[in-house]
Amino acid sequence: MERPRFPHGRAADPRDITIEKLRADRATLKERLKAATDENELLRVRGQQEKDHFSREYAQVEARLRIANTTLERSRKHVEATILERDVKIDQLQKHVDLQQQLIESYRKQSSTMYSTIIENGTDALKKSMRSSFSRSAIGPNNQVDDDDTSSVHARNDRDSDARVHALEQQVTKLFGQLEDERAEADALAAHVDQQKAVNVKLMKTIKTLKRKLDESSEKSSIEHMLTDLQGRFRKVSLEQEAMSAALQTANDKLARASDEVTTLRSDLAAKEAKLAEASATSTIRDSEIQSLLQKIGKQDHYIADLEADYKVATLLRLPLNCQARRRRSERLVSPTYTHLQYIN
């Protein structure tokens, strides 16, 4: 009967194939986990960079907006101060014009009074001269001496009257000259006031235009456009960050599931490795038992071959077998090892 021969190397085991597949799956999951981790880190760094860049730009825009507001406030205060100064100057000029008009009116009244006084004085002097001439014509040539005295008196009176009239005429001329000067000064002052009013009106129009332009520039300036652009970019970055956060959350979920799968596979692999170790130990024990049994079988084969040779020799020689040899052979044939080999076969 031919006995099985066990080679030194073992054949491929399906359990070894399963373990290799599990190891390959674990390596693949590790690579996927590393790739997902690197991608998440890249997304996080990119989001942080975008956030820092937007923070810097927003701070610069806020600084420029503060500077623009400060400049606008300074310009507004300067315009208000200029308007107030112009108003004060106009009030002063108006008061001066009113005072000059009052002086002109007083000069006019004074000149009218003086003119009426001069007219009355001149009329009185004329009446007196007429009376004196009439009285001289009524007295006649008989009173020639008296006439000479009277004429001398009248001449002296006429000279006094002429001097007074001349003085009054000079005063009237002087007053009219002063009146004309005051009128010219008042007209020049009124023209200056009108000019100042026109300048003030132009200045007010310019200030209103400047205010309107400042309001329009404050409402429609490039800063607000830049701020609107930055707000749009901020919303865009926020949406991108939310999308990246969602992608990161999805990747984290996948990573958690992959980690769970890796943990499960590791536990399965550990269990299968334990079973494999147990099976390997059992196989090793069985292999050692089989090798020892094969060695015993080989020895028994040699012994049986020897017995067969002895039996053939004894048969040929027709010699009786020794009783002790028979007993020894019978003991060997009924030994536990032989019985176990028969049970295995």
Domain ranges of the chain: 23-220, 254-344
Is the pLDDT at 28 greater than 70, yes or no?
A: yes
Q: What is the percent of the chain with per-residue pLDDT over 70, rounded to a whole number?
A: 64
SS3 5: coil
Q: What is the pLDDT of residue 148?
A: 53
Distances 25 to 31, 52, 96, 114, 264 between C-alpha atoms, Å: 10, 40, 105, 131, 12
Is the pLDDT at 9 greater than 60, yes or no?
A: no
Q: What is the percent of the chain with per-residue pLDDT over 90, rounded to a whole number?
A: 0
Q: What is the pLDDT of residue 72?
A: 77
pLDDT digits (tens, 9 = 90+) for 52-80: 887 788 788 788 878 877 887 887 788 77
d(CA 64, CA 112): 71
Is the pLDDT at 86 greater than 80, yes or no?
A: no
Is the pLDDT at 6 greater than 50, yes or no?
A: no
Residue range 104-118: mean pLDDT, rounded: 68
Among 74-78, 86-90, 144-148, 225-229, name the one with the lowest average pLDDT.
144-148
Q: Could you tell me which of 59, 182, 165 has the C-alpha nearest to residue 119? A: 165
d(CA 91, CA 193): 10
Spell out the residues 6+ positions from residue 50 whose beta carbon is closer than 8 angstroms to its own: 237, 240, 241
According to CATH, the topology of domain 23-220 is Helix Hairpins (1.10.287)
pLDDT digits (tens, 9 = 90+) for 193-249: 777 777 777 777 777 777 777 667 666 666 666 667 777 777 777 787 787 777 777
Q: What is the pLDDT of residue 329?
A: 59
Query: DSSP secondary-structure letter at 318?
Result: T
Q: CA gyration radius for the chain?
A: 72
Is the pLDDT at 285 greater than 50, yes or no?
A: yes
Q: Count the neighbouring beta carbons within 10 Å of the beta carbon of residue 89.
A: 12
Q: Could you tell me which of 289, 283, 295, 300 has the C-alpha nearest to residue 334? A: 300
Query: Sorting pLDDT into bands at 50, 70 and 90, what band is 111?
Result: low
Q: Annotate 234-298 with DSSP letters as a single string.
A: HHHHHHHHHHHHHHHHHHHHHHHHHHHHHHHHHHHHHHHHHHHHHHHHHHHHHHHHHHHHHHHHH
Q: What is the pLDDT of residue 118?
A: 60
Q: What is the pLDDT of residue 139?
A: 47
Query: Sorting pLDDT into bands at 50, 70 and 90, what band is 112?
Result: low
Is the pLDDT at 97 greater than 50, yes or no?
A: yes
Q: What is the pLDDT of residue 138?
A: 47
SS3 335: coil
pLDDT digits (tens, 9 = 90+) for 161-184: 667 667 766 776 776 677 677 777
Q: Annotate 73-104 with DSSP letters as a single string.
A: HHHHHHHHHHHHHHHHHHHHHHHHHHHHHHHH
Query: Sorting pLDDT into bands at 50, 70 and 90, what band is 119?
Result: low
Q: What is the pLDDT of residue 185?
A: 74
d(CA 29, CA 11): 30
Query: Sorting pLDDT into bands at 50, 70 and 90, what band is 129?
Result: low
Q: What is the pLDDT of residue 345?
A: 44
> Are the CB atoms for 158 and 129 separated by under 8 Å?
yes
